[in-house]
Chains A and B, each alone.
Chain A
């Protein structure tokens, strides 16, 4: 089992969500995050220019069986891209075990 974590643009969230549903990934968690990066946003307030390096993004955490790993990553890569700096990153890691709290069962079946 794999954990796929992705930091994406908020504006691309509905695209990514749709693409994930299309490849059969229906369960995942997400939350909004603030980070620092190369992208700077220029602002002007009452005649004073300033830039903020605080970047608002959405963080997705998806745990899937191995056979879903590739389609999940592909869905995010395609649906989350604008081609500009700041599209985000995907991290893939190994998950040792998954339990379903209701029944106590464990293993890949719990992700179906």
Chain B
């Protein structure tokens, strides 16, 4: 009982840290966009965490953890139902944490996937369409995708040679790429913001509060202590400590290398690239945070940091408009982190790499197909993009009839 108590306390702390990441996402997204869309972004973030938790209660948790199932799709029923052991009510269904903790910890993760999309579609997507998308993506797509691995589905038992099962420790693919693929599809279907491309050349649309963006990234880093630390699923001293070390080293390396790369390429010390680099490192280490040595973690983070800089400019080059760099951070670095499990650390090997690659492909197909289906249907029915006038004057004024800073307006653009 004592062990359960200790483990459970740690898991609840991690749950709270992952919850706090939503503050980080909100700050980062409003910081990197213009002040006329601030309310809209905050509204989306608040909707995601509230609706996300309720949806996870109603269907999500039991879609993601259906117990014994066919490996692709299972559902253990609506709502929560604490399991019975030997005919008695038993919350302590393993040594790591209680049933309730499991629900809340996983519920905090679920909302993250839609938050990633929120930043990418910022400043031009209709709020109603976004909310409908969120309901389907967080309520149904994310849990089904999660069940394939964390719920004991077909990817968790996919065996090739020496490699036994796809490995994604805390969600480089299951959370970040799942959000990232949808972000890619949404950005493609939405089109770029007015003014982003001038005669095909990408233009800068600077964010309105770099201090908020910075606070957001540091909060996300703190949240990752819970995101990865909690994914140990117990308070096991060795595993949690190592995981936090690899997580933080990868974040640091990602930031430094992104900073150096962007300075060499663009001859300026761009803080926003530095910040995205930290996030890239964090997303990159997430798939194998408990499998890596500190040295491996630094390498994985460093490569993620360099990838960020090239990916941000690649996204610009193919005429996609991603105001906050969500595709570069969550999709590209998510894929990188997942593949890195086959290249570095305890599980490294060709067979494992192959399994990781197959896993990435499965999620790519599923997430692209489902997000395309949802967003394309919305585009053809309700519409997904605000009018030109609404976009120019700001979503706050039109979608919300509110002003984020009524007493503070220096720039109107």
Interface, chain A (partner B; CB < 8 A): 43-50
Interface, chain B (partner A; CB < 8 A): 202-206, 262, 265-268, 270, 272-273, 309, 312-313, 316, 325
Residues of chain A contacted by B204 (CB below 8 angstroms): 43-46, 48-50
Residues of chain B contacted by A46 (CB below 8 angstroms): 204, 270, 272-273, 312, 325
27 A-B pairs with C-beta separation under 8 A: A43-B206, A44-B267, A44-B270, A45-B204, A45-B205, A45-B206, A45-B270, A45-B272, A46-B204, A46-B270, A46-B273, A46-B312, A46-B325, A47-B262, A47-B265, A47-B266, A47-B273, A47-B312, A47-B316, A48-B202, A48-B203, A48-B204, A48-B316, A49-B204, A49-B266, A50-B203, A50-B204
Residue in chain B with minimal CB distance to A32: B410
Residues of chain B contacted by A43 (CB below 8 angstroms): 204, 206
CA distance A101 to B396 in the complex (A): 44
Question: Distance (Å) between the CB of A54 and the closest chain B CB?
Answer: 9
User: How many residue pairs, one in A and one in B, have C-beta atoms under 8 Å apart?
Assistant: 35
Residues of chain B contacted by A48 (CB below 8 angstroms): 202-204, 316
CA distance A45 to B270 in the complex (A): 7
Question: Distance (Å) between the CB of B119 and the closest chain A CB?
Answer: 13
CA distance A46 to B273 in the complex (A): 6
Residues of chain A contacted by B316 (CB below 8 angstroms): 47-48
Residues of chain A contacted by B325 (CB below 8 angstroms): 46
Q: Looking at A46, A47, A50, which has the most chain B CB atoms within 10 Å of its CB?
A: A46
Q: Looking at A45, A49, A50, which has the most chain B CB atoms within 10 Å of its CB?
A: A45
Residue in chain B with minimal CB distance to A45: B204
Q: Looking at A43, A44, A50, which has the most chain B CB atoms within 10 Å of its CB?
A: A44
Residue in chain A with minimal CB distance to B267: A44
CA distance A44 to B204 in the complex (A): 8
Residues of chain B contacted by A45 (CB below 8 angstroms): 204-206, 270, 272
CA distance A44 to B316 in the complex (A): 14
CA distance A12 to B325 in the complex (A): 38
CA distance A47 to B315 in the complex (A): 11
Contact, CB under 8 Å: B203 / A44: no
Question: Distance (Å) between the CB of A43 and the closest chain B CB?
Answer: 7
CA distance A41 to B270 in the complex (A): 16
Residues of chain A contacted by B313 (CB below 8 angstroms): 47
CA distance A79 to B409 in the complex (A): 31
Residue in chain B with minimal CB distance to A54: B411
Residue in chain B with minimal CB distance to A48: B204
Extra 19 A-B pairs, beta carbons < 8 Å, given A44-B270, A48-B202: A43-B204, A43-B206, A44-B204, A44-B266, A44-B268, A45-B205, A45-B272, A46-B204, A46-B270, A46-B273, A46-B325, A47-B270, A47-B273, A47-B312, A47-B313, A47-B316, A48-B204, A48-B316, A49-B266
Q: Looking at B204, B206, B262, B272, which has the most chain A CB atoms within 10 Å of its CB?
A: B204
Residue in chain B with minimal CB distance to A43: B204
CA distance A33 to B262 in the complex (A): 34
CA distance A96 to B260 in the complex (A): 62
CA distance A43 to B316 in the complex (A): 17
Residue in chain B with minimal CB distance to A42: B268
CA distance A45 to B273 in the complex (A): 9
Question: Distance (Å) between the CB of A58 and the closest chain B CB?
Answer: 15
Residue in chain A with minimal CB distance to B413: A54
Question: Distance (Å) between the CB of A45 and the closest chain B CB?
Answer: 4
CA distance A47 to B203 in the complex (A): 10
CA distance A44 to B273 in the complex (A): 11
Residues of chain A contacted by B267 (CB below 8 angstroms): 44
Contact, CB under 8 Å: A47 / B206: no
Question: Distance (Å) between the CB of A34 and the closest chain B CB?
Answer: 9
Residue in chain A with minimal CB distance to B276: A46
Question: Distance (Å) between the CB of A31 and the closest chain B CB?
Answer: 14
Residues of chain B contacted by A47 (CB below 8 angstroms): 262, 265-266, 270, 273, 309, 312-313, 316
Question: Distance (Å) between the CB of B276 and the closest chain A CB?
Answer: 8
Residues of chain A contacted by B309 (CB below 8 angstroms): 47
Residue in chain A with minimal CB distance to B325: A46
Residues of chain A contacted by B266 (CB below 8 angstroms): 44, 47, 49
